[in-house]
Structure 1
Amino acid sequence: MDKEQEKMDALFQLLDELLEYPIETSDDISDAELETYFKKFSRIYCNKFRHWYSLISDYLGKRTPDVYSTLDNGLRLIADYGKRVHPKSDEVNAGIDKLLDHVDLESVRIDRMEAVRCFTDETKNLYAATVQSSSDAQNKAMEVQKNVEHYHEQSVSILGIFSAVVLAFMGGISFSSSVLANFASVSMFRLIITIVLLGFVVFNALFILLRFVLHIVYSDPTKKKTSRGMIALNIALAVILVGTIGAYIFGAGTTIESWGATPEKTSTSTCEANS
């Protein structure tokens, strides 16, 4: 067993030597070098030595696939040289042929394993991509389903809000009509205060309802800020309201009511005052 192991080690050293100087064609090696290699193989394949295929497989498995063709070319040239120059060395020629056959078989086996590994990796990648695509499709389907489920609720909400908008607008118009119908019998201050308060309620109610519709449709957080136009309108209404109340407090009512008095009424009032 020790002698066989020694010969296997010598065989591996000889194979390393063949790989150290790549041989592609017969021009890359001379007959003298072939003779030297054949003698080294003769010292190994003597006394009915048989190399171990498992160790050959392990040896080739530790090399890259590009060395298989180099080793195959070198062994084939040596085997052809032995049959041509040493035809009577049957034991050595048979050993080299078996070694060449094992190298070719192992090369084919490793190449197929590499092809299977590449195919397996591609299959795994394809499966992972398929799983990801399926997951994305399921997420999109769930999102669409949620949108469909909320569509009815959103439609009902929007219709209800628009109904409220119409009612608020029509209510404001009706109230304004009733106020304007009694324009002659109502104090100017009361009329202005009523119109300002009505405008404040109606415009803010319409703005809130329409903004809620916009929030349902777009759901955009950037659009939740208060409109500058509504702020300016509320400020203007507040200024008018405060100015009207201030004018009433400081007695501007007498001056305003005298604007609508006719000259006849003014003279009559003056005569009555003189008498």
Structure 2
Amino acid sequence: MNNGEYEKTNYSENFMTEQEKDNEIKHIIKHIIDEGVEDIDVFVERFTKVYDHEYRHKYSEILQLLMEIKSESEAESLDYLVLNMNVLKEHISCSQYSFKKSFFKLYDHIMLEVTRIQLYHDYEKREKLIESKVNTAKNELEYYGNLYNNLSTDINGLYSTVNNVNEQLRDSNAQSISILGIFSGIVIAFFGSIKVTENIFSNLGEGISKYRIVFMAGVIGFILFNTIFVLLYFIAKVSNKSIATGNFDKYYYECYDWNCWDEEKGAYKENRKNVKKYRKILNSSRKRLKIRYPIVYWVNLFMVSIIIMSFILWLIKNQTIFIIPLKL
């Protein structure tokens, strides 16, 4: 606030209006806060002119001004006002000025409101401090509550993990015993088949047909291969594994156009040709075997082909072909 604002209000030499005096009181208080009271005579002159003709300052105007000062500046401004008002009071109380009584009322009003404002300010600070502590306590309580819940969850998870490990150990022991038993069966079946094959071929005479030998070898190979496959399949089931080398996902994904959504049906658009193909695969054991276990399929096909061809050739050699007449 520049010095021009603290100059005395413009008024006529003989008379000041009520409003002008109200404004002058406000200017004096602001001047005391911003400039201090080094020149006391200036303030004495201004108070003398304001409080002539029995003027009474308005308590509401003083309260409004102090509230504005508090909201616009730091709390030290009011402390500085109190300090300077005490200096003026000490000077005025030792003299006989005409405005002495009015000044003391102004002083009392200012002291009262400054005290109220400071008490309210302290109350706000304490309230904010208490609120901050309450929020901190709530946050800590929530933190420790969450920590307790997390620890409880972790402990329950550990118990569950321990139980799962124990179950897996029991299952693995059972699986190991089953797998060892099946492998023993495979070994016994393999060597037993070799022994049986050896006995069969040793009992065959030298004049035995080579087609019969191939036929017997095909049958034995077919039985031995499928026996081993069945045992391996059981091992996979016991250990929750799969020995399949293919699946039906490819054929399923080809059944739909995944880039085209049918709003009426609420589903992706079907490819009817591929859907029909997929259903045929699901309904055919041979096709399912060919897709999931191609090695088994082709080896069995090869073995069966050898068995059939050797049998047919043996029939041809022995001239025992059956002719079925066809009616035209």
Q: Kindly state the Cα deviation for residue 142 of structure 1 after the two structures are TM-superposed.
A: 3.1
Identity of aligned residues (%): 12
Superposed counterparts of 1:164-243, under 5 Å: 164-186=171-193, 187-203=220-236, 205-207=238-240, 234-235=244-245, 238-243=293-298
Q: Give 1:249's aligned residue.
A: 304
Give the helix-richer structure, 1 or 2: 1
Residue in 2 aligned with 1:122?
129
Q: Measured at CA, do residues 241 and 39 of structure 1 come closer, stay the same or move farther in structure 2, by a change above 3 Å?
A: same
Contact 2:25 2:50 in 1 (8 A): no
Residue 219 of structure 1: aligned partner: none
Q: CA deviation at 1:81?
A: 6.0
What is the 5 A alignment of 1:21-36? 21=31, 22-27=33-38, 29=39, 31=41, 33-36=42-45
What is the match of residue 116 of structure 2?
109
Contact 1:57 1:106 in 2 (8 A): yes
Moved more, 153-162 or 170-179: 153-162
1:146 positional shift: 4.3
- In the alignment, structure 1 residue 42 sits paired with structure 2 residue 51: yes
CA 1:175–1:80 in 2, change beyond 3 Å: closer, same or farther? closer
3-state SS of paired residue (2:51): helix
Match of 2:26 among 16, 27, 30: 16
Post-superposition CA distance 1:30-74 (Å, at most 9, x none): 84x434412234327x38x6x676764455234324542564466
Amino acid in structure 2 at the alignment position of 1:17? H
* Greater RCO, 1 or 2 (C-alpha within 8 Å, sep 6+): 1
| Structure 2 partner of 1:145 | 152
With structure 1 as the length reference, what TM-score do the two structures score? Answer: 0.61
SS in 2 for 1:235: coil
Query: Structure 1 residues 63 and 252 mapped into 2: Cα distance closer, same or farther (>3 Å)?
Result: farther
Q: Deviations over 1:141-167 (max 9, x none)?
A: 234334444644543333223212221
Residue of structure 1 equivalent to 2:264: none
Amino acid at match of 2:67: G
**Pair 30,117 (structure 1): closer, same or farther in 2 beyond 3 Å:** closer
Question: Does the 8 A contact of 1:179 with 1:191 survive in 2?
Answer: no
Counterpart-to-counterpart distance in 2, 1:185 and 1:249: 22
Aligned to 1:88: 96
Deviation at 1:108, TM superposition (A): 3.2
CA apart distance, 1:178: 2.1
Contact 1:53 1:102 in 2 (8 A): yes
2:199 is aligned to none
1:18 CA drift (Å): 2.2
Distance 1:55 1:20 in 2: 13
Closer/same/farther in 2, CA of residues 176 and 114 from structure 1, 3 Å limit: same
Contact map agreement 2:93 2:100 (CA 8 A) in 1: yes
5+ residue gaps, structure 2: 1-16, 194-219, 247-291, 311-328
Match of 1:133 in 2: 140
TM-score by length of 2: 0.53
Structure 2 distance, partners of 1:83, 1:147, is 78
User: Is the Cα contact below 8 Å between 2:178 and 2:238 reproduced in 1?
Assistant: no
Q: Does 2:166 correspond to 1:159?
A: yes
CA distance in 2, matches of 1:67, 1:16: 15
- Cα gap change, 1:243 to 1:55, in 2 (>3 Å): same
- Please list the CA deviations of residues 156-183 of structure 1 after superposition, one character each: whole Å capped at 9, or x if unmatched: 3332232122212321221221231232
2:107 to 100, 112, 135: 100
Letter aligned with residue 51 of structure 2: S
Q: Label 1:126 to 1:199 Cα distance change in 2 as closer, same or farther (>3 A).
A: farther
Kept after mapping to 2: 8 A contact 1:24/1:70: no
Question: What is the one-letter code of the residue matched to 2:26?
Answer: D
Instruction: For 1:182 and 1:39, locate their aligned partners in 2 and report how far apart those are by CA, in whole Å.
Output: 130
